[in-house]
Structure 1
């Protein structure tokens, strides 16, 4: 056997966890590993694997094979398969919350503001089907994992605050009903958006439609805004 290969193998075996994996999977670039980039790559790939196969079906070996790293490196960053899954959940929920924080609705009237928020949610869900699959998987497990990530609940507060502000302005202007709160609106929007992704194959097959292709997807997006605004306007003239 080539002595250089022997020396390289010995060095890799002797390296502590989290080191010596720069040439993982046959790479020999000699570049220094970027921890943040590596971690982000592992999270991205893991999201797809967990979404496709569920927690029980996903294998860390497969995730390692799909990334520029090793199984040992994954455990170095995340500790265990379960901790990796919890981080995937946190990252997935953080995505929609980050998108909500980016929208600017202060200059919009209440009707346009709530429509904008509904349409943004529709777009995000349609573009992030893995997020919907993860939500479905977590509900199959009766929320056993998400309950271990307390910070996920904190992520919801900015979205609730944004909705409450829009509704408050709408009530003050006499255009929104008084008996609908942020939870109600969020439930209506999320239910509609999740259905478009979660049931796209069965519903689409039964009715011979592709829910994700325009012009139907554009119509469904606009319809969501119409539904939410019309519902909030119903009974708006009745003030407490």
Structure 2
């Protein structure tokens, strides 16, 4: 009697490994994550993990790439071309800050990569390509605002993006120590709303200062 053939799903297996690894790396970092636990979460085996990704380090790089690609894909859903420059910049900033709030695992992965002095990001050409679309969106908004006489003309787009990103990054990545040290719980909606309002005013005050 013929046995039923097992349906193979290489893309599905690869995706399950990536998602399982993201959880493990976000929780324990590169060194704390266990390959056997990743395989178990992904409902596969270690052999398949190495087949698709080569090594634990290569899997970590792939997880970083996947996490940043998800950010870029989410950013592409924004429609800012027809929006007035100040409102467009505000929407972009709020999108980035909200994304960090909703995806703290991304920040934990980046924090862990900083412990490795960006060794794995440096080895990935794809990650540098992934950051470019967001900076390009910001650059286009800056250009429109400058042509309209609304924004100062000496803004470095990349450095401005770093500043914009940092304003949202800090209160998420440091939320536990901020609460323990200062009693400020930025996961509480009212506290977060106040900080978003302040950070928005800081960004726009810099942009519109002549």
Task: Report TM bin, short chain.
Answer: over 0.9
Calculate the TM-score normalised by the size of structure 1.
0.82
Q: Does 1:99 align with 2:78?
A: no
Could you say which residue in structure 2 is the equivalent of 1:86?
61
Highest CA radius of gyration, 1 or 2? 1
CA distance in 1, matches of 2:146, 2:101: 31
Aligned to 1:22: none
Aligned partner of 1:6 in structure 2 is none
Answering whether residue 201 of structure 2 is matched by residue 193 of structure 1, we say: no
Structure 1 regions of 5+ residues with no counterpart?
Answer: 1-29, 236-240
1:68 aligns with 2:46: no
TM-score normalised to structure 2 length:
0.93
Residues 119 and 224 in structure 1, CA contact (< 8 A), matched pair in contact too = no
CA distance in 2, matches of 1:194, 1:145: 20
**Superimposed CA distance per residue, residues 2-56 of structure 1 (whole angstroms, 9 cap, x where no aligned partner):** xxxxxxxxxxxxxxxxxxxxxxxxxxxx862422122111111101111111111
What's the C-alpha RMSD, in Å, of the aligned pairs?
1.6
Alpha-carbon distance in structure 2 between the residues aligned to 1:216 and 1:134: 25
Aligned to 1:110: 85
**Aligned counterpart for 2:142 among listed residues 159, 167, 184:** 167
1:104-136 alpha-carbon deviations (Å, 9 max, x no partner) = 111111000010000000011111111101111
Q: In structure 2, the residue corresponding to 1:102 is in which secondary structure?
A: coil
Structure with more helix by fraction: 2
1:44-93, Cα deviation, whole Å (9 max, x unpaired): 11011111111112110111122211111111211211111110011111
Alignment of 1:126-141 (within 5 A): 126-141=101-116
Provide, for residues 206-231 of structure 1, a one-character-per-residue CA deviation record: whole Å limited to 9, x for no partner: 22222112122233233332221121
- CA shift, 1:158, in A, is 1.4
Q: Distance in 2 between matches of 1:80 and 1:156?
A: 25
In structure 2, runs of 5+ residues without a counterpart are: none
**What residue is the counterpart of 2:189 in the other structure?**
214
